[in-house]
Amino acid sequence: MTDGTGALLVGTRRRGQQSASDAARRARGTRPLAAVAAAFTLAQLVLVRPVLGLGWDEIVYVSQVTSHHPAAFFSAPRSRGVSLLVAPVASWSSSTVLLRVYLALLSGLALYLALRAWRGLFPTRVLVTAGAFFASLWVTLFYGPQAMPNYWVAVGALITVGCFLRHRAARAARGALWGVAAGAALMAWMRPTDAVWVTVPLLLLALAHRHGRLLLALVGGLAAGGAEWVIEAYAGFGGLAERLAEASRIQGGLGWQIAVDDQLRSLGGRALCRPCTGEMPHPVITLWWFVLPLLAVLGLIVAVRAGRALPTLLPLACATTAALPYLFMIGYAAPRFLQPAYALLALPVADALRHLVRTPRGRWRPVVAAVVALGLAGHLAVQLTVLVHTVERNVDSRRDWARTADALHRLGVRPPCLITGHEAIPIGYYTGCSSGATAGNNENTTVGEILDTADRIPVATLTGPDGTPPRYARSWPVHRISDLEVRVAPPPRPDGSR
Distance, CA of 229 to chain centre? 18
Question: How would you classify residue 462: left for phi > 0, otherwise alpha for psi between -120 and 50, otherwise beta?
Answer: beta
Cβ neighbours around 278 below 10 Å, total: 10
- pLDDT of 373 over the 90 cut: yes
Of the two residues 424 and 274, the one the predictor is more confident about is 424
pLDDT per residue as tens digits for the range 130-159: 999 999 999 999 999 999 999 999 999 999
Entry pTM: 0.93
At 8, the pLDDT band (50, 70, 90 cuts) reads very low
Number of helical (H) and strand (E) elements in the chain, helices listed first: 18, 5
Residue 9 in this model has a pLDDT that exceeds 50: no
The per-residue pLDDT for 174 is: 79
What is the per-residue pLDDT for 12? Answer: 47
Lowest-confidence pick of 67-81, 278-292, 353-367? 353-367
Residue 468 DSSP code: -
**pLDDT bracket for residue 26 (50, 70, 90):** low
Please tell me the distance from the alpha carbon of residue 35 to that of residue 402, in angstroms, as a whole number.
37
| pLDDT tens digits, one per residue of 160-192 | 999 999 999 887 777 899 999 999 999 999 999
